[in-house]
Amino acid sequence: MQTEVKSTCCYCGVGCGVLVATEGGRIVGVRGDPQHPANFGRLCTKGASLHLTADTTCRLLHPEQRTERHGLRQRLSWDAALDQAAGRFASIIREHGPDSVAFYISGQLMTEDYYVFNKLAKGLIGTNNVDTNSRLCMSSAVAGYKQTLGADAPPCSYEDIDQASLIFISGANPALAHPIVFRRIEDARAANPNLRIIVADPRRSETAEIADLHLPLKPGTDVALFNGMLQVMIAENLIDADYIAVHTRGFAELQAIVGEYTPERVAAICGLRAADIVTAARWFAGSKAALSLYCQGLNQSAHGTQNNAGIIHLHLATGQIGKPGAGPFSLTGQPNAMGGREVGGLANQLSAHRDLGNPEHRAEVAKLWGIPDVPSEPGKSAVDLFKSLKTGEIKAVWIACTNPAQSLPNQAAVRAALEAADYVVLQEAYGNTDTAAYADLLLPATTWGEKYGTVTNSERRISRVQSAVAAPGEARHDWQIVVDFARRLGHKLGNSATDKLFPYADAEAIFNEHRASTLGRDLDIGGLSYALLEQAGPQQWPYPQGAATGRTRLYEDGVFASADGKAAFLPIEHQPTADANTVDLPISLLSGRMRDQWHGMSRTGTVPRLFNQEDEPLLGMHPCDMRHRTLVSGDLARLSNARGDSVLRVVERAGMQKGQAWLPMHWGSQFLNSPGANAVACDAVDPSSMQPELKHAAVQIARLELPYPLAVIRRCDNQAEALELMQEARPLLDRYPYANVSLYGRQAPLVVFRAALEQPLDAAALAELDQLFGMAGDAGAIVYSDRSRNIAKKAISRDGRLLAVRLAGEVLAQTWLKQAMAEDKLDPAMIRFALAPCSAPPVTIAPRNIVCKCADVSDLQIKAGIAAGDDLPALQQNLKCGTFCGSCVPDIKRMLAECKTHETVPV
């Protein structure tokens, strides 16, 4: 019998509620929670395929150790593992002091996990060296809010989207990165045709398609744009002088600066039309309610704090804050980056939005924890933390729930730092991430579906996450691992307060302590409890004791979280990006997200159908830049700068500007023979937020001639078999100048291996490939070989269906073969064409377009349903199409309407 458990989606900061269906202790399905206020039942592709990530093939299931770097991993018991870790940490701390160890954690942990990590470092060991991947993500938003509004609190709610009359989306691509927020924007547009949408993004992104005005500004010129808009607002008297006078300070200084930012000058800096800057300013200031949505296009910059301040200024100057439909709303990236910020899990913060630099705040936290003091010196933030590992200033690092050997910029430096470290502990759910290769000790953690606790989404809403199934293998909850380690370490260090510091029997006790730390603070959650969250559902903070509900909107009274209650304007000026383009590095590389993948793909990369949109990393370019390099779509090129390089296939991407290229951030060394975008990404940081400028790298892109292509496609019986094969193929990647491996699939899961070489592949290498992909021997094989042209192809069939194809020297048929094999539809009559040099199937295989990406339903299936008399509800019922995110419902309706028209047209 199936049961459903309430939880949340573990991907983006929208924080959708999910209902996890389980049967016999296994996860068998997932659907959107109709009652959750973040999504009201909707899910995007990633959320809708969460249950498909429950496969445990790639999971880390037992503690493991390595006795030499990159050596074989050996299993050990939890006791042995944690004693070893405590012993190593204790001896390093005794010899070199508390600041010689560090913790690098993650906005994907539960709030409770985060809380105990922070307490372990700051309360037990006495170091502030605890930083997180939120440093790569939200730290500029944190610094921006704090420096202007006085506290790190997004003042808005999702319902403001419904009430806005202007939405200004800047440096964010919610169509792909926050899809359920985007659905809400689409709904708002449908309900209010007068809603205006402006999108500021160097690319014509998927989100820009909905814009009334797209501002394709040059990368890193947002401050100039915001100052320019403010200049127009001042010049045309569109500002709210009363609001500025009563509720803010610093306007005069900023006004003196922005006077120089005339539309003409800004147009030149940003590469925009002056008239568009004026229009944007008029629309913003003239609207009844202006809402800004922004994310990494602003944050991941060497002046990210100023970018954030720049957009907040527009709201303060026009009084567009603290009222329905208005305000600066920073979209959070990770599912619980907000929770991490709440417990102060950054190297310069303390619990409950307290500041490390403030002696009173330090004393409050010390009192709460019952210890004499907490250390006052800020710890190392992410980029610096890894630099200090290289210099030896930090000797041991504990990494949890993040994959720095993939996601940090300048991978050559990061990997050298991990090599240099004395001791690396990795607390991970999956055993095969890029960082796992550098770990001395690997500790298996539970993950989505298994773990429990609380998380906070972009709109300050706290949800309970419930376990749906038991932990696989010996995996433990993150908080349990930390508490167990902390107790052992404390005793080894002779700290008599250890047991009192870590008394927790369960995560609820940790939540309750965190709650106590928030009393009287801006994020006071004194009125919340696990029981209340379970009974009344997710709640927004603040939610003090005695409150009946949380607060939807902050600063409605115009009183800000600063000492004088006023918000501040900062005197900000445009500055160039950290990486300058030169004759040798003429292209700006932008990197970011695809709809169906999550970061380093440890989880989404286990689901074949999530590769169907794109199954290799494609470097998007502008046609002029391609022509200049004699490149056409599908060619190979080397992307490089002084930090590193990567060989990739280039494609012409619609919406790119000349001089810019685009690469998804997702592909790392598990799928590609280089670290991908972060081989070249820039590690210069914002001086205030310490967030690196991941979004812009100056690069060269040059054509690369590798005349001998290779493609192997192997159909597998199930997902586990495909995952095992993909992992076995992984080591081969490093042998080729261009190589990647991925999954693909619909009815049948496939492994797809692609490479290209300077020389033809020799017989031994071919034989090795055939062995690996189960194609050795002649049974069921057809072979084509043309030595003069160095072509060697082989196909194997089993039970009348194509099982595997290896194409060497010429790979024209790979795309249609892959699709036909994924459909599991290639009948025996067609198998003989598998080795033909044709880029389209020689016999008609009806082309199929996927209409519903979430349920993977094609136009053919929908047409068949319509032909059988199905209407929309019947199609939804039978095929599940249009029942997840809903974005394909208009397409299905169009297909129904078209069918009707055909029926009524007289022949």
Ligand X SMILES: Nc1nc2c(c(=O)[nH]1)N[C@H]1C(S)=C(S)[C@@H](COP(=O)(O)OP(=O)(O)OC[C@H]3O[C@@H](n4cnc5c(=O)[nH]c(N)nc54)[C@H](O)[C@@H]3O)O[C@H]1N2
Which residues are at the interface with ligand X (CB under 6 A)?
12, 46, 106, 108, 133, 136-137, 170-174, 176-178, 200-203, 205, 219-220, 222, 295-297, 300, 333-334, 400-403, 406-407, 427-430, 433, 445, 447, 451, 478, 590-593, 595, 597-600, 602-603, 665, 677-678, 681, 694-695
Nearer to ligand X, 295 or 748 (CB): 295
Question: What is the closest distance, in whole angstroms, from the C-beta atom of residue 603 to ligand X in the complex?
Answer: 6
Nearer to ligand X, 710 or 741 (CB): 741
> Computed from CA positions of residues 767, 769, 770, 772, in that sequence, does the dihedral angle turn out positive or negative?
positive
Nearer to Mo ion, 333 or 841 (CB): 333
Strand-strand pairing, 453-456 and 461-465: antiparallel
DSSP code for 730: G
Residue 118: count other Cβ atoms within 10 Å of its Cβ. Answer: 27
Which of positions 122-181 make contact with Mo ion (CB under 5 A)?
A: 137
3-class SS at 139? helix
**Residue 386: both structure tokens together:** 């890894």
406 binds, among ligand X, Mo ion, ligand SF4, none (CB under 5 to 8 A by kind): ligand X
Question: What is the closest distance, in whole angstroms, from the C-beta atom of residue 705 to ligand X in the complex?
Answer: 27
292 binds, among ligand SF4, Mo ion, ligand X, none (CB under 5 to 8 A by kind): none
Question: What is the closest distance, in whole angstroms, from the C-beta atom of residue 588 to ligand X in the complex?
Answer: 8
For 821, counting Cβ atoms within 10 Å of its Cβ (0-12 exposed, 13-18 middle, 19+ buried), the class is buried
Assess 443 for contact with Mo ion (CB under 5 A).
no
Assess 379 for contact with ligand SF4 (CB under 6 A).
no
Buried-state track 862-873, b at ≥16 Cβ within 10 A, e below 16: beebbeeebeee
**Residue 503: both structure tokens together:** 């008394």
Q: Which of 180, 239, 607, 631 binds ligand SF4 (CB under 6 A)?
A: 180
Assess 884 for contact with ligand SF4 (CB under 6 A).
no
Strand-strand pairing, 396-400 and 196-200: unpaired
Question: What is the closest distance, in whole angstroms, from the C-beta atom of residue 371 to ligand X in the complex?
Answer: 26
For residue 315, give every residue at least 6 positions away whose Cβ sits within 8 Å of its Cβ, in sequence order, or none.
290, 292, 321, 326, 327, 328
Question: What is the closest distance, in whole angstroms, from the C-beta atom of residue 171 to ligand X in the complex?
Answer: 3
Which of positions 11-50 make contact with ligand SF4 (CB under 6 A)?
A: 11-12, 14-16, 39, 43-44, 46-47
Q: How far is Cα 24 from Cα 26, in angstroms, rounded to an integer?
A: 6
Assess 333 for contact with ligand SF4 (CB under 6 A).
no
Q: Give the interface size with ligand SF4 as a residue count (CB under 6 A).
A: 14
544 binds, among Mo ion, ligand X, ligand SF4, none (CB under 5 to 8 A by kind): none
**Residue 44: both structure tokens together:** 């995007």
Q: How far is Cα 20 from Cα 11, in angstroms, rounded to an integer?
A: 15
Question: What is the closest distance, in whole angstroms, from the C-beta atom of residue 887 to ligand SF4 in the complex?
Answer: 11
Q: How far is Cα 768 from Cα 761, in angstroms, rounded to an integer?
A: 11
Nearer to ligand X, 515 or 666 (CB): 666
Residue reference for tokens 């770990």: 439
Assess 6 for contact with ligand SF4 (CB under 6 A).
no
Q: Which stretch binds ligand SF4 (CB under 6 A): 178-186, 190-198, 683-691, 892-900?
A: 178-186
Nearer to ligand X, 126 or 304 (CB): 304
170 binds, among Mo ion, ligand X, ligand SF4, none (CB under 5 to 8 A by kind): ligand X
Residue 685: count other Cβ atoms within 10 Å of its Cβ. Answer: 24
Question: What is the closest distance, in whole angstroms, from the C-beta atom of residue 854 to ligand SF4 in the complex?
Answer: 10
Question: What is the closest distance, in whole angstroms, from the C-beta atom of residue 50 to ligand SF4 in the complex?
Answer: 8
Q: Are 719 and 820 in contact (CB under 8 A)?
A: no
Strand-strand pairing, 539-540 and 461-465: antiparallel
Question: What is the closest distance, in whole angstroms, from the C-beta atom of residue 595 to ligand X in the complex?
Answer: 5
Q: How far is Cα 202 from Cα 297, in angstroms, rounded to an integer?
A: 9
**Residue 451: both structure tokens together:** 């773990």
Nearer to ligand SF4, 37 or 179 (CB): 179
745 binds, among ligand X, ligand SF4, Mo ion, none (CB under 5 to 8 A by kind): none
3-class SS at 4? strand
Q: Which stretch binds ligand SF4 (CB under 6 A): 6-14, 299-307, 471-479, 481-489?
A: 6-14
> Computed from CA positions of residues 226, 227, 229, 230, in that sequence, does the dihedral angle turn out positive or negative?
positive
Nearer to ligand X, 62 or 178 (CB): 178
Question: What is the closest distance, in whole angstroms, from the C-beta atom of residue 37 to ligand SF4 in the complex?
Answer: 12
Which residue pairs, CB below 8 angstroms and at least 24 apart, start in 539-547? 539/461, 539/462, 540/157, 540/459, 540/460, 540/461, 540/462, 541/342, 541/456, 541/460, 541/462, 544/519, 545/519
Assess 319 for contact with ligand SF4 (CB under 6 A).
no
Which of positions 476-505 make contact with Mo ion (CB under 5 A)?
A: none
Assess 333 for contact with Mo ion (CB under 5 A).
yes
- DSSP class per residue in 654-715: TTPPTTEEEEES---TTTBSS-THHHH----B-TTT--B-TT-EEEEEEE----EEEEEEEE
Question: What is the closest distance, in whole angstroms, from the C-beta atom of residue 178 to ligand SF4 in the complex?
Answer: 6
Residue reference for tokens 């359920």: 180
Q: Which residues bind ligand SF4 (CB under 6 A)?
A: 9, 11-12, 14-16, 39, 43-44, 46-47, 178-180
Q: Which residues bind Mo ion (CB under 5 A)?
A: 137, 333
